[in-house]
Structure 1
Amino acid sequence: MRVSVLSIVAIGPLRGLAAFAPRWDDVKAKHTWNSVPENWENLGHPPAGTTIEIHIGLRAKNENALIDALYQVRSPGRPKYGAHLSREEVAELVAPPSDVLELVNAWLEYYGIPPSAISTKHGGSWLTVIGIPVPQANELLSASYQLYQHIGTNDTVLCTLSYGLPTTLLEHVQNVAPATNFGFPCTPWQGPLMRHDGAAGAQKKVPTGGPGTTSRYVSLAADRNVLGVVGLLGDYPSPDDLREFMNEYRFDATSATYSVVQIKDGGTLPPSRFRLHIYSTALAAQIPWTVSTPYGMTEYTVPPDYASYMCSLYARLGVRGASVLVSSGNDGVGHGNCLVPDGSGNSRVQFLPSFPSTCPWVTSVGGTTGYNPEVAASLSGGGFSVYFPRPPCQNSAVPTFLQSLGSRYNGLYNPGGRGVPDIAVQAIDFGIIVNAESSMMDGTSCATPAAAGIISLLNDYRISIGRPPLGFLNLWLYGVCLPGLNDITSGSNPGCNTDGFSAVPGWDPVTGLGSLDFERLVGILSRW
C-alpha cells in the first residue's frame, strides 16, 4: 500500500512578520524527561552536518468530531451505522483551523526554514519538515538533540530530553517527532516469549477443536478482505518459513501466501521485508480491514503528547472501517519492581499497563491457556491506563470489577483509566518456524494474531453477505457481541511483586470480557 505525498504547501511570508518575533521567543516546555530513560545511554552530539526530518501533528479544529463519527458509524442502530468514512472525509474531520497552518508556517519561516522544505498531509493536520540541520532544530524547538544508544539492542537514535514550543502554538501542536520519544519504533515492544525446546515438531496436525475454533468455515470473500500484520524492529515474513509451517501444521492450506506492500513514504526496503508505518497507514487510500499489532511498551515510557497523537491515528483507522488489535503485554500487571518516576526526582510503585494497548480506540488482547476449562494465562498483561480515561463503552463493565476489588491495590492503578484487555485468546504453546527452525512460543504477541485471524474471518463473513466490515470492535464487544464471548473466571496476572488482578465473572483486567467463540459470533453478526 503506497501513500502518495500530497502537494507541498508553500505559504508566502506573512505581512508584518517581525511582529511575531516576541511570540516566538516566549517558549514553554512541551515535554521533558528528568533523566535519560532507562536502558539508554548518551553518546553525545551527532557529527557536524547531521540533518533531521521533523514531523508536526496539529490538533483538529473540532477535537470531538473524529470520536463522534467513530461512535456514529460503529454503533448498531444509529442512522450512520456502517457508513465508514473515506480518507478525504477523515482529513476534513481532523483538519486544523486554517489560521493555525499560517501561524505554524510563519514560525518555521522565522527560524529560516524555507517553504520548499515543508509538506502537509491529511487536511494540514500533519506537517513534515525535511533537511533541518540539528543546530537549527535545537533552536526551533528549544531542544538539545543528541545520539542515544539502547543498552541491549544497540539501536542508536537522535532524540532530546526536552523540547518546547512558542506559547501561541502550544495548544495547537499535539506532537512533534522525533523529540522526547525514545521507545517507538526504536526499542523492542512487548515481544513473545520463545522456548527452543523442539516441542513444536510433536504437534504436526490440523487443529480440530478448541476455544474459538474456525476450522469449519470456508472463506467466501478472500478477494475483498485483507488482514494486515504489523512488522517492526526488523521483523519480516519469510516465504520459505511460511511454506514449511503450512506443511507441518496446516497441510490443507499449503497454497497460503502473502503480499509485501511498502507503506512508509519514500525510501526502500530490502526484498521480502514488511513494515507497516502507522502514520502512513492512517492516511492511506486503501487500508486492511483487520490489523494485528503484536507489540507494546510500558505506557509511562511514552511521552503523553506522542501517545495521544498515536491514539488519534488508531481512531482514524477505526472510523474508516479497520479493526485494530494490539497485544496487552506479557508481564501481568508489570515487570520488575515497577518503580516509576514521580516527577520530583523520586520514584513510586505503580502497575505498568502497556501502550498502545491502553489507547481506547484499539482492541487490547490478553492471554488464556487450557481448554475445558480455559483459564487466564499468568503472563496476560492487564490494568488501567494513566493517560487515557475510561471510554463510554466500558462504563457498564469495568465499575462492577472495581466494586468487587474494593480497596485492594489502592494507589497502584488509576481506577478511572481505560481498562485493558478487552478480550483474551490462547497465548501458550504456539508452534512457530523461524529460519527453518521449529520452536514453541508463548505470549500475547501470539494471542493477538490469533484473535486477528478470527476477526478477519468474521469480516470475511460480513463482506460475503453484503455487510460492511466490523471496524472499531469494542462497540461490538461491549454490546451486541457480548453473548459470543466465553467468560474466563479463573487465573490471575501477577507482577510488581503482587498477585496481580484475578479473572472473575464479567470483565476483568486479566482476560477482559473473555475469549472469542467464532460460531456464536457468526450467528450474532448475521443479524446486524
Structure 2
Amino acid sequence: MYHHCISILFVVVVVLLGSLAKPPSPPWDDMHIKHSWNAVPKNWETLGRPPSGTTIDLYIALRPQREDAVVDALYDVSEPGHPRYRAYLTREQVTDLVIPHPETLELVNSWLEHHGISSSSISMTHGGNTLMLKAVSVTQANTLLGASYQLYRHVERGETIIRTVGYSLPVALHWHVLTVAPTTSFVSLRTQWQALRNRSDRAAVKSTSGGPATMLSSRAKVNPVTPSFLRWLYDTEAYTPNTRGENVLGIAGFLGEYPSQADLGAFMRKYLSEAEDATFNVVEVNGGVYDPTHPHEEANMVIQYAEAMAYPTPHIFYNTGQGPSGMDGDFVSWLEYILDQENIPQTISISYSIEERFLSREYATHVCDQIAKLGVRGVSVLQSSGNDGIGLGTCLRDDGTVRFMPTFPGTCPYITVVGGTTDYEPEVAAEFSGGGFSDYFERPTYQEEAASTFLQDLGNRYQGLYNPSGRGIPDIAAQAVGFRIFLNGNEHEASGTSLATPVVAGIISLLNDWLILTGQGPLGFLNPWLYGRGSQGLTDITEGSNTGCNMDGFSAIVGWDPVTGLGTPRFRRMLEQLF
C-alpha cells in the first residue's frame, strides 16, 4: 500500500513538473482593445465588406528584447564627437539589435497556430522584429484581431482601402505586440506639391509674441525657379560629384506615381544642358509598376530637381505599389524592402505624408523606429514638411476643438524635415510651409535649446492649440515657389515642399560625395550635426509665416522656428563644417 501511494505521488509530481516546464497556452479569447476610433475618420466612407475571398498582408511588429538599442546606436553614430560617430552598422547588426525576446516569439507563434495561420505564410522581415503574414483572408484576420474589416473610400480622392475602425489582441500579447498593420491607420499619403496659387504678399506680419508688426524688407524675386538659380543660390555650381558608383540618391515614390525619362531629358536640355544624359533606375516594390508613357507631375518634378542638384550622381526611383493591403502598406512595405537591402542609397528624398492625427500612436511609433534603422545604416532621410502651414482648413477636430495639424513621418525625431521659402536677398518663408509640433513624439535632445528659444519668444500665443513639448518641424528649408518642370513634353509651373525636399537632398548627396571621396562615412542621420556645428552652414530665415487653421500661424524669427527650421543650405559653408 505504501509503495502504491509513492507511485501515485511520483506520477502526480511528474505531471506537475511537466506542466511547469510547459505552461498552458494563455486564453486566446480574452481579448482587449489595442486601438480603435470612435467613428470612421474624416473624409472616409464605408463601402461594406470586401468581396468573399479577399486577402490582406498583415505586419505584426514585436517588441525588441533590447527596446532602446536602435535609438541608442543611432545617436552614437550620429553625434559629432562620439567615438562611434559615422561608424555605421550593417543590415545583420541592426537585425541583431531588435530581435524579440524568445518568450515573445513563442507566445505569438502559439497564438497564430491556435488560429490556424500556416507557418508557411509567416516570415520574419530583415527589419528584425516584424512578422509578415502573407495573404491572410479577411475572415481570418477578423477572427485573429477581433476586428471588422471593411472597404473604405476617400471621398475626395476616390482611393479605396481595407481597414477596421478597431482591433483587439489577447491580453497576454498586449505588451509583446507593438502594433498590427493594416488596421486602424487610415493612411492616405498626400504629395506635398501644389499648382502655383495666387498669394498676396502681406506688407507686414505679426511678431510671434503678438507685439508690434514687423515690416517685410525689400527683397529680390525670381520667376521662374530653375536649376541654374538654385545652384547659384545654394552655392553648388562649382562642385562636380566624383564617386559616381559609390554615392547614390534615392527617391521614394508612392501612389503608383512614376517619372518620365523623356521629360527629364527635355528638362535638362533646356535648363542644364551639361546634364542632358541624366538618367535614373526604377525599382519596383510591393507590386509597383513602372509605365514611362504615363508620367505623374509629382514624380517628374522630384526626379528633375534631384538630378539637377546632384548630377551625375546615380539616382534610384522606388515605385511602391499598394499591394492587397491598400495605402497603409505603402510606407511600411517600402521600409521593409529598403531595410532588407545590403546596400541603401546614402541619401533618400520623400515627398509624401499624412496628418499625424489619422494614425494610431503605436503605428506611428513603429514606422518611426523603422526610420531610425535607416539612420543607423548611414542613410540621410529628407522629408517634406507639407503645404498646409500649421494645418488645413479650420483644423476643427471631431470633439469641436481646434488643434494644429503637423504631418507624419516628419514628426518622427529620426528624420530631417524640409520646409519652404521664396524670394531671395533675403529668402523669406513660403506661407504654405508646413510646420509645428508633434502630439505623439517628445522633443529630442538635439532640438531642446533651439525650440525652447522659439517657445520663449512665442509666449502664450496659441496656447492649447499645439504641444509645446513635442518634436518641432521643419529642421531645414529651401526654395518652394514657382518651379519650372516638364510633364508630357510641356512646361508647367509648380510649388511646394515636394520641390524643396529633393533640392536639399541633392545638396546633402553632394556632401556625402565629398565625404566618400575623402575616405569617410556619409553623413547619415543629419539632425545632431545640423543643430550643432552644421547650422553654421545655413542661412537663417527671419521673415514670413506659415498660415493655416484660419490663423496667421508661426513666424520665422532669428534662430530655429517651425516655419523654416534652422534655415536654408549653403553648400560650401556646410562643407566647411565637416572638417
TM-score (norm 1): 0.91
Structure 2 counterparts to residues 78-117 of structure 1, below 5 A: 78-117=82-121
Q: Cα deviation per residue 1:112-135 (whole Å; 9 max; x = unaligned)?
A: 112122111237511111232222
- 1:201, distance to aligned residue in structure 2 (A): 11
Distance 1:204 1:102 in 2: 57
- 1:524, distance to aligned residue in structure 2 (A): 1.6
Which deviates more from structure 2 when the two are superposed, residues 123-132 or residues 357-366? 123-132
Aligned to 2:395: 338
SS in 2 for 1:54: strand
Does residue 19 (structure 1) correspond to residue 24 (structure 2)? The answer is yes
Are the structure 2 counterparts of residues 143 and 15 from structure 1 closer, same or farther at C-alpha, using a change threshold of 3 Å? farther
Structure 2 counterparts to residues 177-192 of structure 1, below 5 A: 177-183=181-187, 187-192=188-193
Gap runs ≥5 in structure 2? 1-18, 199-221, 293-316, 321-333
Match 1:222 to one of 238, 244, 253: 244
Match 1:38 to one of 23, 27, 42: 42
Distance 1:51 1:290 in 2: 35
For 2:96, give the aligned amino acid.
E
For 1:54, give the aligned amino acid.
L
- 1:202, distance to aligned residue in structure 2 (A): 7.1
For 2:571, give the aligned amino acid.
F
Does residue 501 (structure 1) correspond to residue 554 (structure 2)? The answer is yes
SS in 1 for 2:514: helix
Are the structure 2 counterparts of residues 15 and 163 from structure 1 closer, same or farther at C-alpha, using a change threshold of 3 Å? farther
For 2:249, give the aligned amino acid.
L
SS in 2 for 1:467: coil
Distance 1:249 1:445 in 2: 19
Asked whether the equivalents of residues 190 and 297 of structure 1 are also in contact (C-alpha less than 8 Å), the reply is no
SS in 1 for 2:559: coil
Distance 1:209 1:231 in 2: 24
- 1:43, distance to aligned residue in structure 2 (A): 0.6
Asked whether the equivalents of residues 365 and 425 of structure 1 are also in contact (C-alpha less than 8 Å), the reply is yes
Asked whether the equivalents of residues 429 and 563 of structure 2 are also in contact (C-alpha less than 8 Å), the reply is yes
Q: Cα deviation per residue 1:321-372 (whole Å; 9 max; x = unaligned)?
A: 000000011011011110123xxxx231001111111010000100111110
- 1:16, distance to aligned residue in structure 2 (A): 9.5
SS in 1 for 2:25: helix
Please tell me the root mean square deviation across aligned C-alpha atoms, in Å.
Answer: 2.1
Query: Size of the alignment, in residue pairs?
Result: 501
Which deviates more from structure 2 when the two are superposed, residues 310-319 or residues 26-35? 26-35
Match 1:278 to one of 335, 344, 353: 335
For 1:189, give the aligned amino acid.
R
- 1:274, distance to aligned residue in structure 2 (A): 4.0
Distance 1:126 1:336 in 2: 37
SS in 2 for 1:386: strand
Does residue 211 (structure 1) correspond to residue 233 (structure 2)? The answer is yes
Are the structure 2 counterparts of residues 111 and 202 from structure 1 closer, same or farther at C-alpha, using a change threshold of 3 Å? closer
- 1:463, distance to aligned residue in structure 2 (A): 0.8
Distance 1:398 1:380 in 2: 17
Aligned to 1:449: 502
Are the structure 2 counterparts of residues 207 and 229 from structure 1 closer, same or farther at C-alpha, using a change threshold of 3 Å? same
Match 1:288 to one of 336, 345, 349: 345
Distance 1:151 1:159 in 2: 15
Which deviates more from structure 2 when the two are superposed, residues 318-327 or residues 25-34? 25-34
Match 1:435 to one of 467, 484, 488: 488
SS in 2 for 1:373: coil
Asked whether the equivalents of residues 205 and 248 of structure 1 are also in contact (C-alpha less than 8 Å), the reply is no
- 1:194, distance to aligned residue in structure 2 (A): 1.7
Distance 2:160 2:474 in 1: 32
Structure 2 counterparts to residues 481-492 of structure 1, below 5 A: 481-492=534-545
SS in 2 for 1:102: helix
Asked whether the equivalents of residues 96 and 123 of structure 1 are also in contact (C-alpha less than 8 Å), the reply is no
For 1:460, give the aligned amino acid.
D
Which deviates more from structure 2 when the two are superposed, residues 456-465 or residues 267-276? 267-276
Does residue 311 (structure 1) correspond to residue 331 (structure 2)? The answer is no
- 1:195, distance to aligned residue in structure 2 (A): 3.9
Aligned to 2:54: 50
TM-score (norm 2): 0.83
Aligned to 1:480: 533
Are the structure 2 counterparts of residues 320 and 134 from structure 1 closer, same or farther at C-alpha, using a change threshold of 3 Å? same
Structure 2 counterparts to residues 388-467 of structure 1, below 5 A: 388-467=441-520
Distance 1:37 1:336 in 2: 16
Are the structure 2 counterparts of residues 93 and 381 from structure 1 closer, same or farther at C-alpha, using a change threshold of 3 Å? same
Asked whether the equivalents of residues 54 and 176 of structure 1 are also in contact (C-alpha less than 8 Å), the reply is yes
SS in 2 for 1:113: coil
For 2:160, give the aligned amino acid.
T
Are the structure 2 counterparts of residues 101 and 252 from structure 1 closer, same or farther at C-alpha, using a change threshold of 3 Å? same
Distance 2:127 2:280 in 1: 33
- 1:172, distance to aligned residue in structure 2 (A): 1.5
- 1:414, distance to aligned residue in structure 2 (A): 0.2
Asked whether the equivalents of residues 282 and 314 of structure 1 are also in contact (C-alpha less than 8 Å), the reply is no
Asked whether the equivalents of residues 225 and 481 of structure 2 are also in contact (C-alpha less than 8 Å), the reply is no
Distance 1:425 1:488 in 2: 10
For 2:129, give the aligned amino acid.
S
Are the structure 2 counterparts of residues 268 and 448 from structure 1 closer, same or farther at C-alpha, using a change threshold of 3 Å? closer
Distance 1:384 1:419 in 2: 4
Aligned to 1:237: 259
For 1:320, give the aligned amino acid.
R
Q: Cα deviation per residue 1:146-177 (whole Å; 9 max; x = unaligned)?
A: 11111122221111000011111111211211
SS in 1 for 2:133: strand
Aligned to 2:289: 269
Distance 1:311 1:457 in 2: 26
Are the structure 2 counterparts of residues 72 and 205 from structure 1 closer, same or farther at C-alpha, using a change threshold of 3 Å? closer
Distance 1:421 1:83 in 2: 27
For 2:71, give the aligned amino acid.
I
SS in 1 for 2:492: strand
Aligned to 1:77: 81
Aligned to 1:259: 281
- 1:191, distance to aligned residue in structure 2 (A): 2.4
- 1:287, distance to aligned residue in structure 2 (A): 0.6
Residue identity (%): 50
Asked whether the equivalents of residues 284 and 290 of structure 2 are also in contact (C-alpha less than 8 Å), the reply is no
Distance 2:194 2:431 in 1: 13
Are the structure 2 counterparts of residues 121 and 441 from structure 1 closer, same or farther at C-alpha, using a change threshold of 3 Å? same
Distance 2:72 2:490 in 1: 48
Are the structure 2 counterparts of residues 78 and 132 from structure 1 closer, same or farther at C-alpha, using a change threshold of 3 Å? same
Distance 1:93 1:294 in 2: 29
Asked whether the equivalents of residues 290 and 319 of structure 2 are also in contact (C-alpha less than 8 Å), the reply is no
Distance 2:551 2:32 in 1: 40
Structure 2 counterparts to residues 304-383 of structure 1, below 5 A: 304-341=361-398, 346-383=399-436
Match 1:170 to one of 151, 170, 174: 174
Asked whether the equivalents of residues 163 and 184 of structure 2 are also in contact (C-alpha less than 8 Å), the reply is yes
SS in 1 for 2:263: helix
Aligned to 1:63: 67
Distance 2:515 2:162 in 1: 45
Max Rg structure: 2
Distance 2:126 2:231 in 1: 45
Aligned to 2:307: none
Are the structure 2 counterparts of residues 73 and 62 from structure 1 closer, same or farther at C-alpha, using a change threshold of 3 Å? same
Q: Cα deviation per residue 1:408-451 (whole Å; 9 max; x = unaligned)?
A: 00000000000000011111111111121211111111101111
Distance 2:478 2:184 in 1: 34
Aligned to 2:125: 121
Distance 2:250 2:288 in 1: 19
